[in-house]
Each structure stands twice: as structure tokens, then as C-alpha cells.
């Protein structure tokens, strides 16, 4: 009984969503274009379960390039309508289109002059008739066995809200960098905003050694800087290779006399590098995808080919770039 009802619920809601595809029509496009042309904010309103859906839609719009906020219709009726201007556009959500709190504020919104988009299940409802744009999110039936608890209807409204949001986002050519601007916190913000220059070892902490120096001297540099590698430069200070502690260990297996050899005889020539302005996430990607095996250090070079820093995998992990 439990499994059967759960499966039936999902089937009803999946069916409701599938029917929405045919409702992404010219009227839907007109509503989205009205949002794109809006000079101010998209004000989303709804009450009860529709209100919860509305809060999510407003948050999604705001985070993807469309200024938006949620306005509770009951609070609107008691003063919050002062937040609405003629330059705004109101997205009103009601499955029945007859929700008292929504219907009560429609005349005032009309008087203010803000266009109204109805996200509604009934075109002939009071909300549907008073809207400038109508987006049909109606369902044949709810998954609730009593036909009372909003289930399929709220799922449909939420999905149609996502469709509006993604369509507007695509039309604005909203980029990952734009997204990062509105999401500076947490791991998402770090992945999208943190650059190589923010995490690399630079200045006095940047290990470098001349190509004519010995393996022993390279060991001293790597130990002092604590990175486990050092960039190798030519007489002009240009980056020409990389020496890691792994290189030294492998060569030591052949005999200690190796320690007096110049680093240019065993360094890795033309290793992977990156520039300081690239995203730290790009550095991690280069390290992980390096062939024939992943690497743990990545030299940072400038336009002139000089080593300006080095990034270690642990630096990226410490900053949460994962």
C-alpha cells in the first residue's frame, strides 16, 4: 500500500509535468520577454504552498540575473504594496486563481500600473482575467487521495517557475562568472571566484633555481620553501623546467654522486603551467587530468615566461577548491 501510493504519486506528478511542455507557447515567451524588458524587479507573490513555491522562484530569478523578491500577499494588503512600482512586474501564483489574498491585491497592483503575470491553473479565474500574461500550470488532478493537499499543482508551478528562470537566464547570456558574482560564499563561490594568483606561492615563497645549480642545491631550495618542487630558470630568468622531490628521489637511487649534477640534466622540460589570472579550479583540473598521471604541483608563469609562483594541490584543497 505504501509503495503503491508513492509510485502513483510520482506517476501523477510526472504526467503533470509532461503536459506542461505543450504550454511553453507564444504566450509563455511573451511573459518571459516582459520579464527581460522589466526595468526594475520581478515581484513574486503567492500564499500557502504557492507562497513557498514563489519564494523559491524569486530566489532562483535573483541568483541568475533577474532582480526579484517575494512579497507575501497578506502583508502586501497591509502596507507592503508600497514596494511595488510601475516599473516592476508582478508574478502571481495561484492554482485556483481565486485565492482571496491574491485577488484582493490585484486592483491595487492595477492602479499602481505594474504588469501582472499569472502562474495559474485556470484562465477563466479572477487572476487569469486580470493578468496581462497567463502561464498555464494547471493539472488534471492532485496526487492527494482526498484531492485537497497541493501536490501535482505545486510541482507544476515550481517546474514552470524553473522554466521561466532558465529561459530568462539563457536570454541574458548569463555566464558562470556572473553566477559567481551572486554566489561569493561557500565552495561554489570559491570555485568560481578564486584565482591561481590568490592561492599560489609567490615572492619569497616561490621556489626557483638556476639551471646550472646542482641537485643538492635544488634540495635545499625545496626544503626551505616547503612545496616539494622548484621551478628552473635560464640565465635570463625564463622558466625552462621543473624539478620535484620525486625526481630527486628517483635519481638518488642511482647513486649519491648525482647530487652534484646540474638540475638541467634531470629536470622535466616543458611541464604543464598556468597563469595567475586563471581560476584556481582550472589549476585543479589540469592537475587531475594530467597524463600519464596526475600531478601535485603546477608552476605559474607570466606573459614573458618568467615563473611568478607555484601552486600545490594541498593549497587548493585547503581553500576548498574541490
Write down all domains in the chain, each with its CATH number in brackets: 2-174 (3.40.50.10490), 196-318 (3.10.580.10)
Q: Quote the CA–CA distance of 44 and 109 in Å, as a whole number.
A: 12
Q: What is the pLDDT of residue 163?
A: 98
Q: What is the pLDDT of residue 199?
A: 93
Dihedral sign (CA 88, 94, 97, 100): negative
Q: What is the pLDDT of residue 1?
A: 87
Q: Match 499543482 to its residue by C-alpha cell.
A: 153
Q: What is the pTM of this model?
A: 0.70
27's enclosing H/E stretch is: helix 26-37
Peptide bond into 292 cis (omega under 30): yes
| Nearest residue to 222 via CA among 250, 242, 198, 199 | 242
195 SS3 class: strand
297's enclosing H/E stretch is: strand 297-301
| Nearest residue to 116 via CA among 142, 95, 134 | 134
Q: Going from the first residue of the chain to its last (322 residues), give the mean pLDDT of each consecutive group of 10, the final group possibly shorter.
A: 94 96 96 97 97 98 96 95 97 97 96 97 96 97 91 97 98 86 72 87 95 92 92 95 89 80 91 94 92 93 95 89 72
Furthest C-alpha separation in the chain:
91
Paired sense of beta strands 297-301 and 307-312, if any: antiparallel
Q: What is the pLDDT of residue 186?
A: 65
**CB neighbours (10 Å) of residue 167?**
18
DSSP assignment of 4-16: HHHHHHHHHHHHH
Q: Quote the CA–CA distance of 187 and 183 in Å, as a whole number.
A: 9
Q: Quote the CA–CA distance of 198 and 179 in Å, as a whole number.
A: 19
Amino acid at each position: 500500500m505504501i509503495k503503491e501510493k508513492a509510485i502513483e504519486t510520482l506517476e501523477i506528478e510526472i504526467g503533470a509535468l509532461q503536459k506542461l511542455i505543450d504550454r511553453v507557447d507564444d504566450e509563455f515567451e511573451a511573459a518571459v520577454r516582459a520579464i527581460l524588458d522589466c526595468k526594475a524587479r520581478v515581484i513574486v507573490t503567492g500564499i500557502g504552498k504557492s507562497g513557498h513555491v514563489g519564494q523559491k522562484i524569486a530566489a532562483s530569478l535573483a541568483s541568475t540575473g533577474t532582480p526579484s523578491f517575494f512579497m507575501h500577499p497578506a502583508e502586501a494588503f497591509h502596507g507592503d504594496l508600497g514596494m511595488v512600482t510601475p516599473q516592476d512586474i508582478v508574478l502571481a501564483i495561484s492554482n485556483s486563481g481565486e485565492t482571496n489574498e491574491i485577488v484582493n491585491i490585484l486592483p491595487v497592483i492595477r492602479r499602481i500600473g505594474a504588469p501582472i503575470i499569472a502562474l495559474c491553473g485556470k484562465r477563466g479565474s479572477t487572476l487569469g482575467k486580470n493578468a496581462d500574461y497567463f502561464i498555464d500550470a494547471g493539472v488534471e488532478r492532485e496526487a492527494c487521495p482526498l484531492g485537497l493537499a497541493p501536490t501535482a499543482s505545486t510541482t507544476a508551478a515550481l517546474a514552470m517557475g524553473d522554466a521561466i528562470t532558465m529561459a530568462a537566464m539563457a536570454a541574458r547570456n548569463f555566464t558562470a562568472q556572473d553566477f559567481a558574482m551572486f554566489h561569493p560564499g561557500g565552495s561554489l563561490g570559491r570555485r568560481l571566484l578564486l584565482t591561481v594568483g590568490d592561492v599560489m606561492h609567490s615572492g619569497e615563497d616561490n621556489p626557483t633555481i638556476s639551471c646550472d645549480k646542482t641537485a643538492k642545491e635544488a634540495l635545499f631550495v625545496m626544503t626551505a620553501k616547503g612545496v616539494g618542487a622548484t621551478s628552473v630558470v635560464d640565465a635570463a630568468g625564463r622558466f625552462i623546467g621543473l624539478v620535484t622531490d620525486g625526481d630527486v628521489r628517483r635519481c638518488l637511487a642511482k647513486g649519491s654522486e648525482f647530487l652534484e649534477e646540474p638540475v638541467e640534466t634531470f629536470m622535466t622540460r616543458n611541464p604543464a603551467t598556468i597563469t595567475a589570472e586563471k581560476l584556481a579550479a582550472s589549476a585543479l583540473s589540469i592537475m587531475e587530468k594530467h597524463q600519464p598521471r596526475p600531478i601535485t604541483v603546477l608552476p605559474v608563469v607570466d606573459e614573458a615566461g618568467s615563473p611568478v609562483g607555484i601552486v600545490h594541490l594541498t593549497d587548493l584543497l585547503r581553500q576548498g577548491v574541490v
